[in-house]
Amino acid sequence: MATKRTVIVTGFEPFGDHTVNASWVAVQELERLGLGQSVDLYVCEVPVEYQAVQSLLPSLWKQHQPQLVVHVGVSGIATTVTLEKCGHNHGYKRVDNCSFCPDSQCCMDGGPDCIDSVIDMDLVCKRVNSSRLGVAVSVSKDAGRYLCDYTYYTSLYLGKGRSAFVHVPPLEKPYSAQDLGRALQAVVGEMLELVGQSEDDDHDHHHYSHQHHQHAH
């Protein structure tokens, strides 16, 4: 029997004009819907604070040992559910909810400029859009150089690329909380399938594992 997979999905607390953060509302809706019996889903609300992110994310990865961590954030300019391909190390000039901004304006001193997710976001986008969910999905290479991008880069670094970031529009512009929850359920399900394919080669097909192991991580 296949072992249960562990997935962490996070949303953000309110900030700026977003007195209700659509990302956390959508993640709570996803928690209600679930990801099926074979997935342990943990959800978490992330503070819009650089230093809090730096302490919270390592503990999330260490405590739960997840196969996948998906961060969800709100974008005031988004009109679709947007899958971010990469996180950026530099360019963090906006202050957070504590009026703090990193002196170096970067996530990780000496880290690579950009880290890509191991997940093929174009493929996830194509699959979800072809499923006629009623929610449009798109891809992006710019997560915005604020807490969303900062969180994504940090998580990609910690998880060796086994992370994803999803931007959602504000509530009712045009999608309801229920729409966004269904979209996250579909998106995370597809992501998990892609992450799991290489792992399945290792765990379920022992006679193939030596051939595939170098590709799995």
DSSP string, 98-147: TS---TTSBSSTT--SEEE-SS-HHHHHHHHHHTT-SS-EEEES---SSH
Which residue among 86, 125, 148, 190 is the active-site one? Answer: 148
**CA angle at 3 for the pair 184 and 126, rounded to the nearest 5°:** 30
Taking residue 62's Cβ as centre, other Cβ atoms within 10 Å add up to 9
Token pair, residue 155, equals 């998580």
Among candidate residues 29, 84, 107, 125, the one labeled active-site is: 84
Residue 154's CB is within 10 A of a number of other CB atoms, namely 25
Q: What's at 81, amino acid-wise?
A: V
Residue 63 CB partners (closer than 8 Å, separation 6+):
none
Q: Is 106 a catalytic residue?
A: no
148 is catalytic: yes
- Active-site residue set: 84, 148
